[in-house]
Structure 1
């Protein structure tokens, strides 16, 4: 059994697609007989491993490391031929651009199933940057592309509902996961407050991710300013400059997951003000670190957090965020963090998530491939 993933989003400086593909590749090698190959416009030789096939690409300025396949303007045939030469039994695409059409064409020529993983809400992203007309065009594009796939996977129930509303019927929820050995309470930075020059009594909040518009980070910053001392906000990530104020500390994007885990684990509370998340993997990473999460009751994050692992507040409101932060500190934060970790282990460890993915693949391949898709029993619940 040979599975090929095709995407322009591997590897990138930020983003969940690269994390998903790297975790999938490691897990498949350890737990199944599936051969896995990633086809992507990889730039650095150090990132071209045995299971990675590089196609020509060009870095997109300001895109946090994303690369568009070449040659322009018609790179579809080049990527298609790369996939065809690999002769896969199933093709999965991880972006809605040229790679999607390349993967579709290759799958049809080879006579194998094509799966699309819909990681991001394209119409929302386009609309926030280019306005309503562009959003409507992106919506029509999504509605025209994804019905061609044998199966569309997306990480949250809210995105399943959106896609089905567009007439895409072959769509299923497939959550992503977290490496709960890397993101774990024992790796927390024990003296983070001292390293940041903060007092021991500081109530330390953290946000990690891109500083893009859809993350609604200014709302959180306003809430922290309104609360005043002893609250302090640590933001970790990349994006435009942020308005500086005494209760804000900014750290750059952490390429090493272990470093990010240590920073998040050294804080009291992870806060995510975004209401357009398709999933919210960084919120899961915080939960895996034993840190409770305050999110908003909209988007993918709302499906991850319950009353035992954190809190949800009204979206788009500075007042609601400020009140929620105050309210959650009145609860037993240690107990919330422990329950957040437990929820992660039960539902979102990669060893829980990957067998679900294998089940989706099994529904598409022929009977002769089913043996290779069996998960080795001794790893089924680790």
Structure 2
């Protein structure tokens, strides 16, 4: 029988190292995927992630399995698997119908090896721009090396998902042809304008007539948090900035407020909905999930015209600035509030609801996965299609 989302035998497994106590977009994507599949009696979902010790989830389905991995120094709690063998064996034990790898490291190689042994498709998701991240830390000399590595790795997957057009273009430049754009989504019943929390501004010591800008994310180099803070000096005293995330620069400006990492989506939505606009200086976004979450809360967005941000933001829902410098960011904020910024925020909410609900996004992905399970074709390292044996014809 062909396997489709209506077939009870469809079992999907995800594996990633992007799972930690302060995880961001990848974890929210995987949790949304889990919730969506839980509502489909025809599908089963398993997730394999790193942790301090071996463990299974406590619920009866035991859908989440944790394998021990080395904790990254200054890595916000992320852990890095050093050996692929235990991950390969755990995936083989799960015996899914398709495996999705969410990072380009050890777990990706384990996913490919397990899929080959099981005779099932291996799928990659290009969540992270590894070449750019390495170049920021090591210099541009590393780009050709990382590009060759990524090209070889991703050409060995049976299919690749990219969260944005810009990331799909990067895969094409690496010679990866079997790609589809799989955008992320937002739960518009949680992230909504009515999530505003009365009294939150008073609790933060923000005047009621202030214009509150907000950013949520990690304090990493490519987010340019220092430029967000510096933009306050380019703006008049009405403007305050709220930073939400681990490692933010507490006390670095009198009109700056900082809240530690927020794991609960309802709490994050309350902070976002209580602000007036999102100020986002990231110029290397692979998708920009917090942008979408802010839009769903009815916030207009000031962002940088780079990375995937322009795929979400235009003049109808905010302002784009040419660089992630404080002066440019401040000019974007000024232009936004010279307009009818409330109407712009309302347009942002409408766009999020109309185009980015999790349900349609994940239904599209499940359709692609079911097609891969049916087709019995893969692409080899050269990009040419080759036959692969269906699950059950290879001994585990």
C-alpha distance in 2 between matches for 1:89 and 1:232? 50
Counterpart selection for 1:134 from 110, 121, 142 = 142
C-alpha distance in 1 between matches for 2:325 and 2:262? 29
Aligned to 1:56: 68
Structure 1 residues 287-339: Cα deviation after superposition (integer angstroms, max 9, x where no partner): 11111111111111211112222121212333321111011112222211211
Specify the SS of the correspondent of 2:51: coil
Aligned to 1:270: 278
Aligned to 2:171: 163
Counterpart selection for 1:317 from 313, 325, 337 = 325
How many pairs does the alignment contain? 364
TM-score (norm 2): 0.88
Specify the SS of the correspondent of 1:255: coil
Specify the SS of the correspondent of 2:161: strand
C-alpha distance in 2 between matches for 1:170 and 1:41? 28
* Residue range with higher mean Cα deviation, 14-23 or 316-325: 316-325
5+ residue gaps in structure 1? 369-382
* Residue range with higher mean Cα deviation, 336-345 or 219-228: 219-228
Specify the SS of the correspondent of 1:363: helix
Give how far 1:61 is off: 2.3
C-alpha distance in 1 between matches for 2:41 and 2:282? 36
Structure 1 residues 125-178: Cα deviation after superposition (integer angstroms, max 9, x where no partner): 111112223333222211111000011111010111111011111111111111
* TM-aligned CA distance change 1:221 to 1:11, over 3 Å: closer
Aligned to 1:18: 27
Q: Is the contact between residue 193 and residue 202 of structure 1 (CA under 8 Å) also seen in structure 2?
A: no
Aligned to 1:378: none
C-alpha distance in 1 between matches for 2:90 and 2:58? 15
**Displacement over 6 Å in runs of 4+:** none
C-alpha distance in 1 between matches for 2:189 and 2:374? 35
Counterpart selection for 1:230 from 217, 238, 262 = 238
Counterparts of residues 208-219 of structure 1 (less than 5 Å): 208-219=216-227
* Residue range with higher mean Cα deviation, 92-101 or 296-305: 296-305
TM-score (norm 1): 0.91
Counterpart selection for 1:300 from 300, 308, 317 = 308
Give how far 1:190 is off: 2.6
C-alpha distance in 2 between matches for 1:26 and 1:200? 38
Aligned to 2:91: 83
Which is richer in helix?
Answer: 1
Structure 1 residues 195-238: Cα deviation after superposition (integer angstroms, max 9, x where no partner): 22222211111111011100112222222211131111111111
Counterpart selection for 2:253 from 245, 249, 268 = 245
Give how far 1:274 is off: 1.0
1:68 and 2:76 are equivalent in the alignment? no
Q: Is the contact between residue 7 and residue 95 of structure 1 (CA under 8 Å) also seen in structure 2?
A: yes
1:5 and 2:14 are equivalent in the alignment? yes
Structure 1 residues 240-295: Cα deviation after superposition (integer angstroms, max 9, x where no partner): 63671112111111121111111111010001111100010011111111111111
Q: Is the contact between residue 56 and residue 63 of structure 2 (CA under 8 Å) also seen in structure 1?
A: no
Aligned to 1:282: 290
C-alpha distance in 1 between matches for 2:187 and 2:56? 23
Give how far 1:98 is off: 0.5
C-alpha distance in 1 between matches for 2:279 and 2:57? 32
C-alpha distance in 1 between matches for 2:240 and 2:124? 41
Counterpart selection for 2:352 from 341, 344, 367 = 344
